[in-house]
Amino acid sequence: MLGKQIHHGRRKFVGMRVTSCGKMELTSIMQGLFLGEDTSVTYSMETEMRPDGTRFSEGRGLSTTKDGKSGRYKIMGNVLTKPDGSRISRGVVCFSCPPGKFA
């Protein structure tokens, strides 16, 4: 799967705070497709703005399918916000789950 898109979804921010070191912590819920299956994802990310307008983010999350399968993941990457408000993210996701379809 290296280099292929495995997840696509729409998210809703449910919380935000600024940490003591000036980074932002964002908590979101996302509905989408993971390897073609409907999933719900809850995650928290810590984001640091860079002088060039990009952001470096890292965080953890939990993904759950409609039939109750779940997995955990860690994510790290760079984010570019485009003038229209959309975002482009590039990074790495380390996903762990029980044996089965997503293993």
Distance between CA atoms of residues 13 and 74, nearest Å? 18
Domain span including residue 43: 7-96
Residue 81 lies in a domain: yes
Residue 28 lies in a domain: yes
Residue 34 lies in a domain: yes
Residue 52 lies in a domain: yes
Please measure the distance between the N-terminal and C-terminal CA atoms of the chain and give it in whole angstroms: 12
Residue 79 lies in a domain: yes
Residue 17, SS3 per DSSP: strand
- 75-86 tens-digit pLDDT: 999 989 888 988
Residue 78 lies in a domain: yes
Scan for tokens 């919380």, then name that residue.
15
Overall number of domains in the chain: 1
Nearest 10 degrees: Cα torsion 28, 77, 93, 23: -40
Provide the pLDDT for residue 70: 84
Provide the pLDDT for residue 44: 94
CB 90 within 8 Å of CB 76 = no
Residue 86, SS3 per DSSP: coil
pTM for this entry? 0.66
Residue 101 lies in a domain: no
- 11-64 tens-digit pLDDT: 898 999 998 888 999 899 989 887 788 889 899 999 998 888 899 999 999 988
